[in-house]
Structure 1
């Protein structure tokens, strides 16, 4: 199994609960990129402590409970330290009680057995719809 694939398999279970143990998975200079960040949100966060603080704050503000992650596909790249992952996250809105699953794509770059890059492509409009309960 490739190091990036193993890191992804170790990373996603942390998304379902409080931010604990994730620091061990990240390089000190890890880069979190969100090319389709929600309006007003950062598109890039650099550094382990900064990323953990951003993730902790984001999870606390998320009006939903994340219930599960399902890996749909892992694509190897020409760089053995980089994979592209298609996955979906299922959650339940705290506002509506509605359960929804949404697709994501992530690019994971590894260095020295840790995550050095996590670039996540989110459907921010789909997330907003799922949380609000509005179909369109």
Structure 2
């Protein structure tokens, strides 16, 4: 398998993710990459487009949370040779509290010329709410929305 196949690019991202968050994760994305996260909690902003915006996001996450592994990985190739679907579970901890978390994620990614140009990630927003002890904030946001 070529190191630049869509599957290989997503596998590389998952290896980097397992040791992140780190700014190096941004290197597998195109300069103008688009990021979609439809299931963010109320009030959480959608990620800004572009590799450097993602890099800044990752830099800000260092010291907030740490990832230590990715498991239960299933990568599905599709009829579109540029698109793969990755299912995985991300393990880590919240730095401030030491609280452990495991979040199941499904990512659909379009890869061109060896970089991800578009991704849409689905995860259960309750995983993050529970990990960051933000259940009260979520309920308050839901009742005022």
Equivalent residue number for residue 31 of structure 2: 28
Match of 2:44 in 1: 41
Q: 1:110-136, CA deviations, whole angstroms, 9 ceiling, x for partnerless residues?
A: 0111111121112111221133398xx
Please say if residues 14 and 20 of structure 1, whose CA atoms lie closer than 8 Å, have aligned partners that are also in contact.
no
Structure 2 unpaired stretches of 5+: 136-145
1:106-125 correspondence to structure 2 within 5 Å: 106-125=107-126
Give 1 or 2 for the bigger CA radius of gyration.
Answer: 2
* Residue number in structure 1 paired with 2:20: 17
Structure 1: which 5+ runs fail to align? none
1:117–1:5 CA distance, 2 compared to 1 (3 A): same
**Higher strand proportion:** 1
SS at match of 2:48: strand
Q: Contact between 1:98 and 1:133, CA under 8 Å: does it hold in 2? A: no
TM-score by length of 1: 0.81
Cα distance change on mapping 1:61 and 1:41 into 2, 3 Å: farther
By how many angstroms is 1:29 displaced? 1.1
Number of aligned residue pairs: 132
Q: CA offset at residue 71 of structure 1? A: 4.2
Whole-Å Cα distance in 2 between the matches of residues 95 and 61 of structure 1? 8
Partner SS state of residue 45, structure 1: coil
Task: Please state whether the residue corresponding to 1:46 is helix, strand or coil.
Answer: coil
Normalising by structure 2, report the TM-score.
0.77
Instruction: Give the corresponding residue for 2:81.
Output: 80
